[in-house]
Amino acid sequence: MDEDSNVVLFAPFGGSAPDPDFFLESVLDGWERQQRAKDFSAGTISSRRSLVMQLVDFSGHYPWQWTIADADDFFSHARGIRNLAHATVRSYQTAIKLFCDFACDPRYDWNEQCARLFGAGFAQVITELNRISHAQPTDARPAKRPFTQRELQQLFDLADLEVQRVINSGRRAPIAAWRDAVALKAAYSWGLRSNELRHLQLVDLSRNHRAPYFGDYGVVRVRWGKPHRGSAKKVRSVLTVWEWSVDVLRDWVTNGLPHYGEPLTDLFPTSKGNVVGESHLLGRLRAFIDELGFPPGLDIHSFRRSYATHLITGEGFDVAFVQMQLGHEHASTTSIYALPSPDYQTRALQQIHERTLAAAKQLPRRREP
């Protein structure tokens, strides 16, 4: 296909009938170039392209033969049979809609070529009639929740105990247990998503000149932040809040990490030189939660929920500060994370009473008549 036009040269079989597979590949290649121009990531482009082919295989029809009924059947199967999440199916519908918008756009003349070659044209099959509504301001499941302060303390104590248990048992890899304990604490200490945590490197740690007492651990630079609408990873800097988290990380970098050899790059590596896997950390966390008997609703992302909750309702930080720390585009998203802890109302009322009593002590005593 000529890079400067949408003219498709169909002669793969010496002038035989047009090849629909070749034409479809050409349309997908054109869509891929458009998405690259819009700065979508390679992963997003690849998954969208794969989704188009899934609908082709499921329906048995090429995209210019698709009907709304084909889309209805495909997404009904995804939701009802495959049991995919509401948000996942909605994102699939968005991808198919974007493809149809591209193929139907007269500025690219794919429809004109399709009609000339196959006697049919592309049509939009995702409409307001069959599209899943964005009914909730967040796709977080209601069952998910943050840790309480007490749960966090018990969890971190057990993670430290696990290191000693591995040593006492004579099993291999006590360093791996130590690494996992530090990783879980870091997820909470800087409010990190799983991918952000796993891909941290030593070069991402730096000083905060306004908080020199944290040394080289005053700022954590996150380079694997959640992308916006398929674009490149978002980068942000997270300021260190708690001194205890610096002690944990410094001890690991100084005494634990060197066991993985030189040169040191990743903050949480494996013995094979990869970054620690999300499934491994989740498995470790679930084992701790089961042993402690905590109520359901906790996962790795609960550390991030807890970070926001405890900073706002426990430490009294401003929502705008927490929003920047978490890398949220909107403060409303941060407020969803900041769920009050069970004793928040009691502590808030107590603080008001204490301030009222302190102010009353400063008032001049009333003169007796």
Q: Strand (E) positions, the chain?
A: 205-206, 219-225, 234-239
**Contact assessment for residue 213 and residue 243, using Cβ atoms and an 8 Å cutoff:** yes
pTM for the model stands at 0.60
What is the model's pLDDT at position 83? 84
Other CB atoms within 10 A of residue 288 CB: 22
336 CB contacts (<8 Å, ≥6 apart)?
Answer: 137, 138, 140
For residue range 42-78, list pLDDT tens digits in order.
Answer: 888 999 999 999 999 999 999 999 999 999 999 999 9
Confidence at residue 226, expressed as pLDDT on a 0 to 100 scale = 82
Preceding peptide of 263 cis, ω within 30°? yes
In angstroms, the CA 215 to CA 209 distance is 9
Nearest to 32 by CA among 14, 55, 48: 48
What is the predicted pLDDT for the residue at 4? 43
**Those residues with Cβ within 8 angstroms of residue 351's Cβ, 6 or more apart along the chain or in another chain:** none
pLDDT for residue 12: 44
**Among 203, 202, 220, which residue's Cα sits nearest to residue 211?**
220
* Contact between residue 93 and residue 79 where contact means Cβ atoms under 8 Å apart: no
Q: Residue 344 has which token pair?
A: 């928040």
CA–CA separation, 8 and 110 (whole Å): 9
Q: How many residues are present in the chain?
A: 369
Select from 263, 252, 294, 267 the least CA-distant residue to 198: 267
- Dump pLDDT digits (tens) for 153-204: 999 999 999 999 998 887 667 999 999 999 999 999 999 999 999 999 999 9
pLDDT in the model for residue 338: 61
- Rounded CA-CA distance 147/185 in Å is 12
Residues 363, 369: Cα–Cα separation, whole Å: 18
Q: Which of 322, 294, 165, 304 shows the shortest CA–CA distance to 238?
A: 322
How would DSSP label each residue in 107-170?
TTTHHHHHHHHHS--------TTTSPP--SS----TT--PPPHHHHHHHHHHHHHHHHHHHHHT
pLDDT at residue 218, rounded to an integer: 96
Low-confidence ranges of the chain (pLDDT < 70): 1-16, 134-142, 171-172, 228-231, 336-353, 363-369
219 forms beta bridges with 206, 239
